Amino acid sequence: MRIGVLTAGGDCPGLNAVIRSVVHRALTGHDDEVIGFEDGFKGLLEGRFRKLDLDAVSGILARGGTILGSSRLERNRLREACEKSKDMSKDYGIDVLIPIGGEGTLTAARMLADAGMPVVGVPKTIDNDISSTDRTFGFDTAVGVATEAIDRLKTTAESHQRVMVVEVMGRHAGWIALESGMAGGAHGICLPERPFDVDDLVTMVEERFARGKKFAVVCVAEGAHPAEETMDYKKGAIDQFGHERFSGIGNHLAIELEKRLGKEARPVILGHVQRGGTPTAYDRVLATRFGWHAVEAAHRGDFGRMTALRGTDITMVPLAEAVTELKTVPEWRMDEAESVF
């Protein structure tokens, strides 16, 4: 069997572990050949690919990023790109395509599958917002980075009696904010799923200081926004891919808290540091398992589906099911977090 693999969308720690696992399982468990397209669907469309053998994937397990490179597909060019990809895949003689990516990539994968192309998807995103899988690799690493940042910020915040506003990634879903906020013991967590009230945050900080505490940390997802009228808040701008780029809710919130509290507040935007660097052990294992199962699914002819974690098992779920809606943080998870503020 000739397998084509590509990584698309925003990168994420663990991508190399999947590529390595696909190559190992395909070459040693079966007698397959694997080619890797460079820079996501772009490489497929432009005919840029290379053969992946065991040497090519040696030493990459712990490496962040993706040895294949990645790119985002413009939303409005999705259909056109899919049509072309289908023809190109035929030209390269691949029997199955394994695209590793987030919601956009899996939507493209679904379109390809609907058009008759043999596709097995592998979900990835640090945001953990893909439906139908309990976890995506990359998330554990991102939560670890954000948690360490909160831990570190607490000591400097205490020295200066400041409020720290830590902005983490998560445009539409607040999983990173929720879990790093819980793990780091943040005193307030703001998620895109639930508009926050600045008055509540002000009261929380005032009560803490009244109890003799000398600092506070608020963990805010980049896509979080205030309930209407509670604070001056600018909407984001739309980028070339149609994504909304927020103008830094962390900055706005820190300025607002400083004004209302009369105490110093500092914003810390963690940004892409959450996506870079070496994956945690958990993410390496999950990514390796996804790669193994993707190859097995290809050999069973289990196309139009993606690998998914359910409990501790890896299963296959229809791509159609996975891309219908994003997995957001349910209210009860926020209630649990709030009980330990």
**Interface residues toward ligand F6P, by CB under 6 A:** 10, 102, 125-127, 169-171, 222, 275
Decide if 127 is catalytic. Answer: yes
Q: In the bound complex, what is the minimum distance in angstroms from residue 199's beta carbon to ligand F6P?
A: 27
CB 128 within 8 A of CB 174: no
């500092």: which residue's tokens?
266
**How many CB atoms neighbour CB 159 within 10 A?**
10
* Number of helices followed by number of strands (H, E) in the chain: 11, 13
Active-site choice (127, 129, 140, 283): 127
Q: Phi then psi for 269, rounded to 5 degrees?
A: -95, 110
Q: What tokens were used for 33?
A: 């050949």
Q: In the bound complex, what is the minimum distance in angstroms from residue 157's beta carbon to ligand F6P?
A: 24
CA distance 174 to 306: 23
Of the pair 18, 117, the CB lying nearest ligand F6P is at: 18
Q: Which helix (H) or strand (E) holds 260?
A: helix 249-261
3-state secondary structure 226-293: ECCCCCCCCCCEECCCCCEECCCHHHHHHHHHHHHHCCCEEEEECHHHHCCCCCCHHHHHHHHHHHHH
Q: In the bound complex, what is the minimum distance in angstroms from residue 312's beta carbon to ligand F6P?
A: 25
Q: In the bound complex, what is the minimum distance in angstroms from residue 170's beta carbon to ligand F6P?
A: 5
Closest CB to ligand F6P belongs to which residue? 169
Q: Do the strands 244-245 and 237-238 form a parallel or antiparallel pair, or are they unpaired?
A: antiparallel
Q: In the bound complex, what is the minimum distance in angstroms from residue 16's beta carbon to ligand F6P?
A: 17
Of the pair 243, 333, the CB lying nearest ligand F6P is at: 243
Beta partners for residue 2, in sequence order: 33
CB 70 within 8 A of CB 11: yes
Catalytic machinery residues: 127
